[in-house]
Amino acid sequence: MNILRSFVEGRWVEGKGPSATLVNPATEEALASTSTAGIDMTAVVAYARSRGGPALRELTFAQRGELLKAWSKALHAARDELIALAMRNGGNTRGDAKFDVDGAIATLAHYAELGAQRYAGLHLWVPRDGVAVHINAFNFPAWGTAEKAACALLAGMPVVSKPATSTALVAHRLAEIGAPLLPEGAFQFLCGSPGDLLDRLGYQDLVAFTGSSQTAAKLREQLARRGARLNVEADSLNAAVLGPDVQPGGATWDLFVQDVVRDITQKAGQKCTAVRRIFVPAAQAAAAQEALLERLAQIRVGDPAREEVNMGPVSTADQLRDVRAGIARLAGESQPVFGGDGSVRALAPEGKGYFVSPVLLVARDAAGATAMHEHEVFGPVATLAKSDGPAELVRRGGGSLVCSLYSDDRGFLRDCVLAVAPYHGRIYLGSEKVVGQTMGPGTVLPQLLHGGPGHAGGGEELGGLRGLSLYSQRVALQGDRALLDAIAPTAMT
């Protein structure tokens, strides 16, 4: 009997173990047997990653199209054979079999020739017929509420918005101001626990969550069971990278120092986009450390009600405890060179407030370190590391919201962008030309995507109209062109 084999690691391999039998469903005649017993799946995945991925990415878009064209043509040449197989193994009529086989040929050909599209239909985005639940983090009560609401409302979905309780005052006021302006039911606001709200959701509903990856993991299970959509924006180990061409004293150097210190200390480091890891070439490491320390020394911690203060406390007693524990964990593999001994001189009444000093650590061995790449300390804390090939270390963050690259060398920037892009939602290029025109990597712009893969939650918010897709069902409309034109203007195409 015909034994079917698997194609793995460049070879057709026969399974070594119990096999399944393929039959003709019209006659029950046995046609073939097959098995994957004995195949090493670790090797299969490794092979795809180490060989297939790089090979495909080396090709241009057009070249990949050529491959699909070749496959389509080769299938066409074997069309009769394939149809006969389908009739025997699938119980297909000749028409049924053609439907499948010709579908394969046409699909490969279509993607091979994308660009010369025939007009056969269009795509509409229609609002999902449910409720958008927004769960926001404590650090951006206003912007977080607004960025989620803007996309949901413009898309046409009603919102139930829940701020983090500890900093709810701002969100509450935002809601008070907004609620009377909106249609009845379009915006609701839950100031405290969501209770059993999430157990009330179904597949037309969704949750947009910003917060910790632990909470996100629970939500994933809960909402998967209910079939509701979930967008997560969670922890992120954002990196700043200094290019080998950037010399102390130049405009790009100064931009790097200024951006990094701002994105360590702004909002006392309680920003999902804050810089947590800093990679500099060995040759510039000493000068970079010195420049960062000098600027950090200008930070005055204290009660923001006092005018001279330029960094406030962290948000709650719990946050302070977590930040201190996180610093201790980082200090297990890196050396604090600023702050980090637990003491802080705060311009505030003695013994009150959740203050912490900015902390800079220097990694002893960034490649061997784990905490610096995996543990987000949600305070004014970052780790500096020497590296002359930073892309691999950047990727160790396991998926981040933003990476900032400082250089005026296009070759370096291009290589670095392509190496780290699959691991990020946004990449910020700091160069001479943007000095004075940028708010740094920590600022999320509505026209650009906010979110990141992996550790950062795998979500996508904002990005202009892209931000509406979470709240929309995309639907293809097929039919007579005049009819489509008559219907289409009622919804976004």
| Residue list 433-492, contact with a second copy (CB under 8 A) | 433-434, 438, 441, 443-449, 453-455, 458, 460, 462-467, 473-480, 482-484, 486-487, 490-492
Concatenating the DSSP letter of every residue in 159-203 gives EEEE--GGGHHHHHHHHHHHGGGS-TTSEEE--S--TTGGGG--T
368 forms part of the interface with a second copy (CB under 8 A): no
Segment near a second copy (CB under 8 A), from 111-119, 242-250, 325-333, 367-375?
111-119
**Residue 362 Cβ vs a second copy, minimum distance, rounded to whole Å:** 27
- Interacting residue with a second copy among 30, 107, 247, 345 (CB under 8 A): 107
Partner residues linked to 383 by β-bridges: 277, 361
Binding residues for a second copy restricted to 235-294, rule: CB under 8 A: 266-268
Kindly state the helix (H) or strand (E) to which residue 66 belongs, with its residue range.
helix 61-77
Question: Which residue in 147, 151, 272, 460 is the catalytic one?
Answer: 272
Question: Which residue in 233, 376, 460, 461 is the catalytic one?
Answer: 233
- Identity of the residue, 361 or 420, whose beta carbon is nearer to a second copy in the bound complex: 420
SS3 content of the chain, % helix, strand, coil (to 5): 45, 20, 35
Segment near a second copy (CB under 8 A), from 52-60, 274-282, 374-382, 383-391?
52-60
127 forms part of the interface with a second copy (CB under 8 A): yes
- Interacting residue with a second copy among 253, 279, 354, 378 (CB under 8 A): 354
């060398």: which residue's tokens? 409
Three-state SS at 400: strand
Q: For residues 132 and 149, what is the distance between their CA atoms, to the nearest angstrom?
A: 9
**Phi, psi for residue 13 in degrees, rounded to 5:** -120, 135
- Identity of the residue, 208 or 449, whose beta carbon is nearer to a second copy in the bound complex: 449
331 forms part of the interface with a second copy (CB under 8 A): no
Number of other CB atoms surrounding residue 394 within 10 Å: 24
- Identity of the residue, 170 or 287, whose beta carbon is nearer to a second copy in the bound complex: 170
Question: What are the residues whose beta carbons fall under 8 Å from the beta carbon of 448, sequence distance 6 or more?
Answer: 426, 462, 463, 464
- Identity of the residue, 333 or 408, whose beta carbon is nearer to a second copy in the bound complex: 408
Binding residues for a second copy restricted to 373-402, rule: CB under 8 A: 398-399
Q: Give the strand pairing for 334-338 and 359-363.
A: antiparallel
- Interacting residue with a second copy among 16, 165, 328, 493 (CB under 8 A): 165
Partner residues linked to 23 by β-bridges: 30
Q: For residues 177 and 181, what is the distance between their CA atoms, to the nearest angstrom?
A: 8
Site size with a second copy, rule: CB under 8 A = 229
- Interacting residue with a second copy among 211, 281, 425, 459 (CB under 8 A): 425
- Interacting residue with a second copy among 23, 285, 337, 344 (CB under 8 A): 23
- Interacting residue with a second copy among 134, 135, 137, 159 (CB under 8 A): 159
362 forms part of the interface with a second copy (CB under 8 A): no
**Phi, psi for residue 309 in degrees, rounded to 5:** -75, 130
Q: Is 233 a catalytic residue?
A: yes
- Identity of the residue, 184 or 298, whose beta carbon is nearer to a second copy in the bound complex: 184
- Interacting residue with a second copy among 135, 136, 137, 201 (CB under 8 A): 201
204 forms part of the interface with a second copy (CB under 8 A): yes
């947009």: which residue's tokens? 208
Characterize 271-308 residue by residue with b for buried, 16 or more Cβ atoms within 10 angstroms of its Cβ, and e for exposed. bbbbbbbbbbbeebbeebbebbeebbeebebbeeeeee
**Residue 284 Cβ vs a second copy, minimum distance, rounded to whole Å:** 21
177 forms part of the interface with a second copy (CB under 8 A): yes
Q: Is 272 a catalytic residue?
A: yes
428 forms part of the interface with a second copy (CB under 8 A): yes
- Identity of the residue, 147 or 257, whose beta carbon is nearer to a second copy in the bound complex: 147
Question: What are the residues whose beta carbons fall under 8 Å from the beta carbon of 414, sequence distance 6 or more?
Answer: none
Binding residues for a second copy restricted to 306-325, rule: CB under 8 A: 309-317
- Interacting residue with a second copy among 1, 16, 129, 286 (CB under 8 A): 129
- Identity of the residue, 313 or 326, whose beta carbon is nearer to a second copy in the bound complex: 313
- For 343, counting Cβ atoms within 10 Å of its Cβ (0-12 exposed, 13-18 middle, 19+ buried), the class is exposed
Q: For residues 17 and 32, what is the distance between their CA atoms, to the nearest angstrom?
A: 15
Which residues are catalytically annotated? 233, 272
